[in-house]
C-alpha cells in the first residue's frame, strides 16, 4: 500500500515502509501513553531509555551481532564517520602495539576506493593523517567507477595497517561488493554500509567497525548507527600523554565515550532512533534479513534483466559487482534521458535522476521499495523503449 500516488526511488533520504509511517503518525501526539510526543520526551527519561535499549536489541537480533560488539547511535552521517574512524582506530592501533613502542608511531591506513563515497573517505582521512595507503582506486585504474579489481592487484599494507577501509555499496555508482574482503586477521576491517545494511545477511564478526547513515535503509535522517568491536575501545595509558603523537579524539567522535554513555553523552537524535526502532520491528515481522534478502534479490534481478534485454538501456557497472540497492543506468541516446525522467515524474515515479556527478538515471530500490514499485518502473521502461524503437 502506498502513502500517496508516488513511487519514491530516492537514494536517501529514501522511502520508509508505509506501515511504519502510519504507526508514527498514530503515536505522534502520545508516545507510549506518556501524553507527550517522542519529540518532547527527555532523553534521560525511563521511556526513552527503554526505547534506546530495545532498538539496540532488535538490531542485534536482525544482524546477529555478537556480544563483544557495541551498538552506538551517533550523529553526523557518513561524512562525520570519515573522521571518527581515523581518530578511534589510530588509538586502538596504538594500544595494540603496547606502551613500550620505541619507533615512531605512523601506521598506514588502507583504503579501497571503488566509488564516490570511499574516495571522499580517503580524502578526509588525508586531512587528519599523513600515511594513507590507497590499496586501489578504480577510477584511476579504469577511468571510471564500475568494477572491483581482483585481489592479486590490491596493495595492502598487511599487519602494519591500523585498519582497512571500504564502502560495501557505492550509492552513487551502483557498485556493491559480493564478498567480504580478506585481509590480515590482526587488522580491523572498517566498512561503510550506509546504503545496504539490513538488505542481506553477513558475518558481523569479520569486521572491526561498521557504520551506516540511517536515511537510506534504516529510517529517518539524523542517526548514524555504529557497530564496533569492544577491544577497539580500549585506550593505552600513553593515550593521555599529549606528546604521544596520537591525535586527541573529540568527545562527540569518541566511540568509547559513546559506548560508556550508552549513546546518551548528549541529546541523541531521538525521533530518528524511534523511526529506526519501528523499521526494525517491521523487518522482524517480515521474517528478518533472510526474508527481505530474497525480496531484494528478486527486485534487482527483474530490473537488471529489463536493462540487459533492452536495445536502448545500458548499465555502467560490471555484472559481478552490481548493486542490489542502487541501480544506475543510461540510455544509449543520452538526449532521451531528460524525456525519460520527465515522463517518470508525470507517472509519480520520483527521484530517478542520477547523481549530479555522473548523470543518467538511478533507481534506488531499498528494503521499503516494493516489487510492485519496481514492476511499475519496468513497465514504464518498456513502454518508453517501444515508443523510441519503432
| Residues noted as catalytic | 117, 192, 216
Instruction: Supply φ then ψ for residue 115, to 5 degrees.
Output: 180, -170
Instruction: Evaluate whether 190 touches 163 at the Cβ level (below 8 Å).
Output: yes
Instruction: Evaluate whether 348 touches 5 at the Cβ level (below 8 Å).
Output: yes
Rounded alpha-carbon distances, angstroms, from residue 333 to 250, 253, 303, 349, 381? 50, 47, 20, 21, 14
State the maximum Cα–Cα separation within the chain, in Å, rounded to a whole number: 76
Quick check: helix, strand or coil at residue 353? Answer: strand
> Grid cell 535522517 — which residue?
221
Contacts of 84 (CB under 8 A, 6+ apart): 74, 226, 253, 255
> Grid cell 576491517 — which residue?
189
- The cell numbers describing 162, all together, are 591500523
Which of 378, 326, 334 has the alpha carbon at shortest distance from 351?
326
Which letter, b or e, does each residue of 104-118 get, where b requires 16 or more Cβ atoms within 10 Å of its Cβ? eeebbbbbbbbbbbb
End-to-end Cα separation, the chain, in angstroms: 35
Instruction: Supply φ then ψ for residue 213, to 5 degrees.
Output: -70, 145
Q: How far apart are CA 68 and CA 303, in angstroms?
A: 39
Instruction: Supply φ then ψ for residue 345, to 5 degrees.
Output: -65, -40
Q: How far apart are CA 338 and CA 254, in angstroms?
A: 45
Instruction: Evaluate whether 112 touches 251 at the Cβ level (below 8 Å).
Output: no
Q: Where are the alpha helices (DSSP H) in 130-242?
A: 138-142, 214-217
**Dihedral angle at the C-alpha atoms of 28, 34, 39, 42, nearest 10 degrees?**
-170
Amino acid at each position: 500500500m502506498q502513502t500517496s500516488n508516488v513511487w519514491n526511488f530516492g537514494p536517501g533520504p529514501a522511502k520508509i515502509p508505509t506501515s511504519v509511517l502510519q504507526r508514527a503518525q498514530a503515536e505522534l501526539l502520545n508516545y507510549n501513553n506518556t501524553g507527550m510526543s517522542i519529540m518532547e520526551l527527555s532523553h534521560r527519561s525511563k521511556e526513552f531509555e527503554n526505547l534506546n535499549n530495545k532498538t539496540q536489541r532488535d538490531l542485534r537480533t536482525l544482524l546477529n551481532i555478537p556480544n563483544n560488539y557495541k551498538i552506538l547511535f551517533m550523529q553526523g552521517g557518513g561524512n562525520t564517520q570519515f573522521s571518527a574512524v581515523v581518530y578511534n582506530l589510530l588509538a586502538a592501533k596504538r594500544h595494540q602495539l603496547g606502551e613500550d613502542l620505541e619507533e615512531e608511531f605512523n601506521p598506514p591506513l588502507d583504503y579501497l576506493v571503488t566509488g564516490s563515497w570511499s574516495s571522499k573517505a580517503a580524502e578526509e582521512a588525508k586531512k587528519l593523517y599523513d600515511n594513507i595507503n590507497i590499496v586501489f582506486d578504480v577510477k584511476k585504474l579504469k577511468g571510471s567507477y564500475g568494477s572491483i579489481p581482483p585481489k592479486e592487484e590490491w596493495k595492502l599494507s598487511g599487519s602494519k595497517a591500523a585498519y582497512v577501509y571500504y564502502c560495501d555499496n557505492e550509492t552513487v555508482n551502483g557498485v556493491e561488493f559480493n564478498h567480504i574482503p580478506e585481509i590480515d586477521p590482526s587488522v580491523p576491517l572498517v566498512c561503510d554500509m550506509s546504503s545496504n545494511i539490513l538488505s542481506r545477511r553477513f558475518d558481523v564478526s569479520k569486521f572491526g567497525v561498521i557504520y551506516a547513515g540511517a536515511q537510506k535503509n534504516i529510517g529517518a535522517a539524523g542517526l548514524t548507527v555504529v557497530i564496533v568491536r569492544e577491544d577497539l575501545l580500549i585506550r593505552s595509558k600513553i593515550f593521555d600523554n599529549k606528546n604521544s603523537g596520537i591525535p586527541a579524539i573529540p568527545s562527540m567522535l569518541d566511540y568509547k565515550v559513546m559506548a560508556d554513555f550508552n549513546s546518551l553523552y548528549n541529546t541523541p537524535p531521538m525521533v530518528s532512533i524511534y523511526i529506526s526502532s519501528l523499521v526494525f520491528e517491521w523487518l522482524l515481522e517480515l521474517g528478518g534479513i533472510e526474508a527481505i534478502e530474497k525480496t531484494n534479490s528478486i527486485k534487482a534481478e527483474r530490473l537488471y534483466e529489463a536493462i540487459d534485454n533492452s536495445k536502448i538501456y545500458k548499465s555502467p557497472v560490471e555484472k559481478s559487482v552490481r548493486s542490489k540497492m542502487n541501480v544506475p543506468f543510461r540510455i544509449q541516446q543520452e538526449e532521451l534521458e531528460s524525456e525519460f525522467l520527465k515522463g517518470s515524474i508525470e507517472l509519480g515515479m520520483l527521484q530517478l535522476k542520477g547523481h549530479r556527478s555522473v548523470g543518467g538515471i538511478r533507481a534506488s530500490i531499498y528494503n521499503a521499495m516494493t516489487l510492485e514499485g519496481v514492476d511499475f518502473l519496468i513497465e514504464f521502461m518498456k513502454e518508453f523503449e517501444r515508443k523510441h524503437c519503432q
